[in-house]
Structure 1
Amino acid sequence: MVVLVDLDDPDDDGFTPGPAAAADDGRPNPNVNGFSAALSCYPIARQLARQLDLNSLHDLSRTCRQFRANLLEYRDQLIRHTLHCDFDVEDEAIPRPTGSRLLTSGRVARCARDMVAECQRCAAVVCRNCTIKPPPAPTLRARHRRLCRTCTRAPLAFLTAAPRPRASSESSLPGTPDSPRPALLDDAADAPRAFTAPAFERTPCICADTVWLCQPCGQHLKNADTMYVRAWTWRTRYSHYLGGVGTGAGEGNEGVECGRGAQCLAARVVEHEVDCNASDPAYSGSPETGERWTGTSYYAQEIEGIGGVVKMKLKKQVRVGECVKVYEDERDKSIRWLEREVSGRLRSWCSWCERVVLGDKDRAEVRGGRAPSSAGSEA
């Protein structure tokens, strides 16, 4: 800004503030509104700064001169209260939480304040020093998971809405899951949609452009993708060698599970056995009284192993996804798996961020301003 001073005019002291100048010449200041007035209030500005990192706060101050003038007054205080990483510990004497110890040049890196955002998978707030290294581009295709027919044809809102918690009055039998199917399907027709629902929805996957995952969520991605691809290869070849007797992928109960797993809209309940240590307090009783649960039942059995080690085998009712469809051209060894999902023709599920990947029909309906209802005719 340039200030012109007339040295011959005794009334000109050289001070011409911006807002006052706009008022003197008769032009209203378009940036003086309710939001700018809110920014001039320190409690409101502080609460807003807690939701923004340094870069976002700087961008807000560059919106206009009025916003900058309001925020500049509290600059030092707002910088200290910007969005913090969950692993950020200001006191060096306190050890940092597990998962944030990233070695850079032989030392532990400090948490950054300029690039802080929520993990795309677990929503934990992490900085750029506590995120995983962005995977290479060729590994993007391995993140796709095929959805079952129910999840493929369901409205997109069913895959993006946050699951509703089960009511406290509901009860379940021992060894059974909380609910036989997602609560969204049970009361979606009766409960009205709140106007704040979009703020809590899980938006579609953007891993093709940006991958922002914390260390706990991103450390086993490669192994999970490898196992999923091997499952497709083994099941398809197994069915081919046996002449297609009903053991291949997508046939019966031995098919590839829906990518959403237990959150599948057509999930079924099956019995699953797990081994646990009999000394676990959850199954051993009270350590103060010395009492220990003994005996067997249908859901729990004590097994004495080698060396007298007592283990507990539990039977649980768990929810698993419906088997997915296998197309005939995918039985050919020359065809790579999930070409329809990787190319974007069909809706799929991202195993990295656990969000839906839009298909061609979904994108067309979003561009048209309509809510997507189904994913395509091939499903």
Structure 2
Amino acid sequence: MAIAACIDLNTLDNLSRTCRAIHQGLLQYRKMLLVSTLHCCNEDLPVDEENTLRYRARAGNWFYMQDISRTNYTGKSGECARDLVSECRRCGTVVCRNCAIKPPAPIVLRDRHRRLCASCTKAPLGRLVSPQLPPDTPVDAEQMQQAICKCDSEGVWLCQPCGRTIRSDDYDYKGIWRWRNQYGEVLGGLGTGIGDADRGVICGRESRCLGAQVREQETDCDAEDARLEADCSSSPPSSVHGPPSTASVAGSLHSSTTTTGGGGGSSSEFGSSLGAYSPPPGHRTPSPAVGPGYARHEIEGIGGVVKTKLVRMVRVGACVPEWEDEKAKGEILGRETQGRIRSWCGWCWRVIPGKKDYDAAKERAAREKEAGKAGEGS
């Protein structure tokens, strides 16, 4: 039963077809095995009957999946399947074929590549997988094959939250390289500073990069709070988890201020005046619950406007190399798309081995074969 809980009905059917003895052994516990197979994580959720046909049709249309404003649907548009269930290749959530995203077209597989820095390119392949494997593990080993990217051979298997924005992320990443090819390090005989130190394109593994360093990052608090407020307002209350944002804290404080007061008339008048006030469009009242402190710094900007900056230390990946031949041709990630060097998959967040990795595995297999022949001859 422990093995049956880790496989779906298709795998169980293939297992029963291996030999007659296994088929007879599994047939005795047929009812228990069918119930114990892998289940989708959304199986207990109710089906939204009103939007079943609409969102099931949209699930197969990439026009709706690329538009973030159209992908705020978090319900369940159909019954979960039991014949094809597997873990998401990115987050590990168990989803069925009805809850997984529609696989992208084969022509866009080249857009999933992300360039790696020198540290991640030269490191053993076992250090780039999760969980890490021994450094001498070849690329053709079974453990390594389960940990590397297989989007081109076995297909894309991602849950809806992980797969909604893969195409928009690809477009943004390619836009960065188009901008880098247009603006170089030198402009009019003077250095622009682009590409120096940590001002280039960061590694595709981002904070998990082997050469990542801790850097200071500044974020506009008003923009960050407005983004959190928009995310909380667009998402349903049942799907919001975790600590409340500053906007929600401000809303709770506002409601508690207007409702409390021990029945006095002044408090009710004060609450009614707040309720009647409507701020101008595009204006967001700063949250009184979060003031300046160690992480939030007040900075006086242009025109005497005081803004709040959120300063925090984050891990930033190392800069990746840039090749002059690609700049001259206007080519983007040519070595990665051709499989000549190691790259990172932006869809499943797994490493894509390069030609050197496969050549090293072939040389190792050849050496082991020669050593075996020498041992038999002696």
The TM-score, its normalising length taken from structure 2, stands at: 0.65
| Deviation at residue 303 of structure 1 after TM alignment | 8.3
1:168-207 aligned at under 5 Å gives the runs 203-207=147-151
| 1:47 counterpart SS class | coil
| Deviation at residue 109 of structure 1 after TM alignment | 1.9
Mark the CA change 1:230 to 1:281 in structure 2 (over 3 Å): closer, same or farther.
closer
Mark the CA change 1:243 to 1:157 in structure 2 (over 3 Å): closer, same or farther.
farther
Partner of 2:297: 301
Mark the CA change 1:242 to 1:218 in structure 2 (over 3 Å): closer, same or farther.
same
Mark the CA change 1:268 to 1:246 in structure 2 (over 3 Å): closer, same or farther.
farther
| Deviation at residue 121 of structure 1 after TM alignment | 0.8
Partner of 1:103: 56
Partner of 1:56: 11
CA distance in 1, matches of 2:310, 2:5: 46
Partner of 1:144: 113
CA distance in 1, matches of 2:189, 2:146: 39
CA distance in 2, matches of 1:245, 1:208: 44
CA distance in 2, matches of 1:63, 1:201: 23
Mark the CA change 1:238 to 1:116 in structure 2 (over 3 Å): closer, same or farther.
same
Which residue identity lines up with residue 299 of structure 1 in the other structure?
A
| Deviation at residue 254 of structure 1 after TM alignment | 2.1
Match of 1:337 among 318, 332, 338: 332
Contact in 2 for aligned 1:247/1:254 (Cα 8 Å): no
Mark the CA change 1:244 to 1:57 in structure 2 (over 3 Å): closer, same or farther.
farther
| 1:158 counterpart SS class | helix
Partner of 1:11: none
CA distance in 1, matches of 2:164, 2:244: 29
| Deviation at residue 323 of structure 1 after TM alignment | 0.8
1:66-105 aligned at under 5 Å gives the runs 66-89=21-44, 92=46, 102-104=55-57
1:1-379 aligned at under 5 Å gives the runs 46-89=1-44, 92=46, 102-104=55-57, 108-162=77-131, 203-209=147-153, 210-239=155-184, 242-243=187-188, 245-247=190-192, 250-274=195-219, 275=221, 276-277=224-225, 296-301=292-297, 313-332=309-328, 334-369=329-364
| Deviation at residue 199 of structure 1 after TM alignment | 6.3
CA distance in 2, matches of 1:339, 1:126: 34
How far does the alpha carbon of each residue in 1:148-177 deviate from its partner, in whole angstroms, 9 at most, with x for none? 1111111111111437xxxxxxxxxxxxxx
Greater helix share, structure number: 2
How far does the alpha carbon of each residue in 1:191-220 deviate from its partner, in whole angstroms, 9 at most, with x for none? xx9xxxx96997111111211111111110
- Unpaired runs of 5+ residues, structure 2, are 60-75, 230-242, 258-287, 366-378
| Deviation at residue 344 of structure 1 after TM alignment | 0.6
CA distance in 1, matches of 2:307, 2:41: 37
| 2:114 counterpart SS class | strand
How far does the alpha carbon of each residue in 1:51-70 deviate from its partner, in whole angstroms, 9 at most, with x for none? 11001011111111111111
Mark the CA change 1:133 to 1:247 in structure 2 (over 3 Å): closer, same or farther.
farther
CA distance in 1, matches of 2:42, 2:196: 46
CA distance in 1, matches of 2:146, 2:19: 32
CA distance in 2, matches of 1:129, 1:341: 32
| 1:50 counterpart SS class | helix
| Deviation at residue 223 of structure 1 after TM alignment | 0.8
- Unpaired runs of 5+ residues, structure 1, are 1-45, 164-183, 371-379
How far does the alpha carbon of each residue in 1:256-305 deviate from its partner, in whole angstroms, 9 at most, with x for none? 11110000111111111232449985777997x99x76753342136899
Contact in 2 for aligned 1:102/1:109 (Cα 8 Å): no
| Deviation at residue 366 of structure 1 after TM alignment | 2.5
Which residue identity lines up with residue 57 of structure 1 in the other structure?
L
How far does the alpha carbon of each residue in 1:20-54 deviate from its partner, in whole angstroms, 9 at most, with x for none? xxxxxxxxxxxxxxxxxxxxxxxxxx221111100
Mark the structure with the bigger radius of gyration: 1
Which residue identity lines up with residue 103 of structure 1 in the other structure?
R
| 1:319 counterpart SS class | strand
The TM-score, its normalising length taken from structure 1, stands at: 0.65
| Deviation at residue 247 of structure 1 after TM alignment | 4.0
How far does the alpha carbon of each residue in 1:322-348 deviate from its partner, in whole angstroms, 9 at most, with x for none? 11111111221x341111111111001
Contact in 2 for aligned 1:295/1:302 (Cα 8 Å): no
Mark the CA change 1:149 to 1:318 in structure 2 (over 3 Å): closer, same or farther.
same
Task: Give the CA RMSD over aligned residues.
Answer: 4.0
CA distance in 2, matches of 1:272, 1:236: 25
